[in-house]
Structure 1
């Protein structure tokens, strides 16, 4: 699960950075505000890469997805991109858990098929 979720979060890191560039064009927003918010979101996406398998990591990932969708109020394209990344996040968590379960079953079978050394 960690690999899939981390890949999604790295993609989000890049998208958040590009959205920050687009948001800078808005005359109502100061550059410092845009980069403070974008920087915090980018930092959180990187931080979450290491927290995915820890308790609460997936929940924090969902909070980031909601924030990404909500950023569409500033950069309208982010409604679409946020929805795409929320779907990718769901798939990463869902299929990542299935892969982890399959790996655990395989390791268990491989461990039980070796003869005991007596």
Structure 2
């Protein structure tokens, strides 16, 4: 799960950076505010890569997805991009868990077959 979720988060890191460049064109937004908010979101993307397998990591990822969709208020394209990344996040979590379960089953089978005196069933 860690690899798939981290890949999604790193993709979001770049999308947030590009969205910040677009948001800077809005005369109603101060550049410092845009970069402060975007910088925090970009930092969270990278930080979540390290804590994704800990309790609450997935929930924080979902919160980031909601914030990414909500950023469409300022950059309307982010409604679409946020929805795309929310779908990728769901797939990363869902299929990542399945892959982790399959790896654990395979490791258990390999350990059982490597144990001397184990039945070769």
Q: TM-score, normalised by structure 1?
A: 0.98
**How many residue pairs are counted as aligned between the two chains?**
117
> Unpaired runs of 5+ in structure 2?
none
Q: Structure 1 unaligned runs (5+)?
A: none
Q: Show the counterpart of 1:14.
A: 14
Say which SS state the counterpart of residue 4 (structure 2) adopts: helix
What is the rounded CA distance, in whole Å, between the counterparts of 2:76 and 2:64 in structure 1? Answer: 17
Q: Which residue of 1 aligns with 2:79?
A: 79
Q: Distance in 2 between matches of 1:5 and 1:17?
A: 19
Distance 1:102 1:115 in 2: 20
Structure 1 residue 115, shift from structure 2 partner: 3.8
User: Match of 1:37, SS?
Assistant: helix
After superposition, the CA RMSD in angstroms is 0.8
1:17-51 Cα deviation digits (max 9, x unpaired): 00000000000000000000000000000000001
Residue deviations 1:90-113 (CA, integer Å, cap 9, x gap)? 000000000000000000000001
Q: Once superposed, which parts of structure 1, at least 4 consecutive aligned residues long, lie more than 2 Å away?
A: none
1:44-87 Cα offsets, whole Å, 9 max, x none, are 00000001000000000000000000000000000000000000
* Pair 1:42-2:42 in alignment: yes
1:107 counterpart residue number: 107
| Partner Cα distance (2:74, 2:41) in 1 | 14
